[in-house]
Structure 1
């Protein structure tokens, strides 16, 4: 799944046409097919922060993290939702995960300052075991306490 960072071309606004979907977006929100997701709303991951981008992935597994973390951080006991989305304009690698812990973009995570159109909801997806989700939430809380919960947006 992971590509070596020296052999992969970065995905940029000027060079993203070679990346094909389907693409997925995980969220706490209930959305309808045809809805457009746009930047400029509150971040799911940092209170009082407005997100300048919409984040999405070519992997359902990555979108599952988005759905589960968004609902858990909102204090909801719900599972969240994953949608098939299509970018309406160019996009780029998500710099928050690309070339960080692992070379390249193994989570196939992207972001855009342009709208994403909701195509359909993914009805059947595998969430993380409760202890794994709790571990990620604990890690995020620790980063927040240390002032290291930086989001490049």
Structure 2
């Protein structure tokens, strides 16, 4: 794993209610395929990208979870996320990354673009179609 050429700030979207200083770690089930335990923790340099991840996590979770975005700091080396970079898009237009090292929570971000009900429905349909496709692989 090589150090990515991005200085941040970095963000992570989730439904977890976290405090400043807490660490986010790998080893949790995938939001998209819960049967897969993820070897990395994912983050982005785009606050709205983290917001999208949080909203999708909330859509797929049981109950009535609150989507949250946190500014985070990688504690170790990180790399471009291969799930959305050269495998699917040229370069790293989403500015998405992953690490095996924890992310430290710096602060909760409350200003990010929320999806409309129509956009959430579109993402719900995209995810349903993606998850139904056995060829849709998560690079873990």
Partner of 2:102: 115
The partner residue of 2:76 within 70, 74, 89 is: 89
SS at match of 1:66: helix
RMSD (Å) for aligned C-alpha atoms: 1.5
Deviations 1:37-85 (A, max 9, x none): 1111222221222111100000011101110000100034444000000
Cα distance change of structure 1 residues 75 and 131 upon mapping to structure 2, 3 Å threshold: farther
1:55 counterpart = 2:51? no
The partner residue of 1:142 within 109, 129, 133 is: 129
Aligned residues: 140
CA apart distance, 1:118? 0.3
1:15 counterpart = 2:3? yes
Moved segments of 4+, more than 4 Å: none
Cα distance change of structure 1 residues 37 and 55 upon mapping to structure 2, 3 Å threshold: same
The partner residue of 1:30 within 17, 32, 35 is: 17
- Tell me the TM-score normalised to structure 2 length: 0.92
**Cα separation, 1, equivalents of 2:131 and 2:32:** 10
Cα distance change of structure 1 residues 54 and 146 upon mapping to structure 2, 3 Å threshold: same
Q: Which has the larger radius of gyration?
A: 1
- Tell me the TM-score normalised to structure 1 length: 0.85
**Cα separation, 2, equivalents of 1:113 and 1:134:** 32
Unaligned runs of 5+ in 1: 1-12
For the Cα contact (< 8 Å) 1:140–1:149, is it kept in 2? no
1:44 counterpart = 2:31? yes
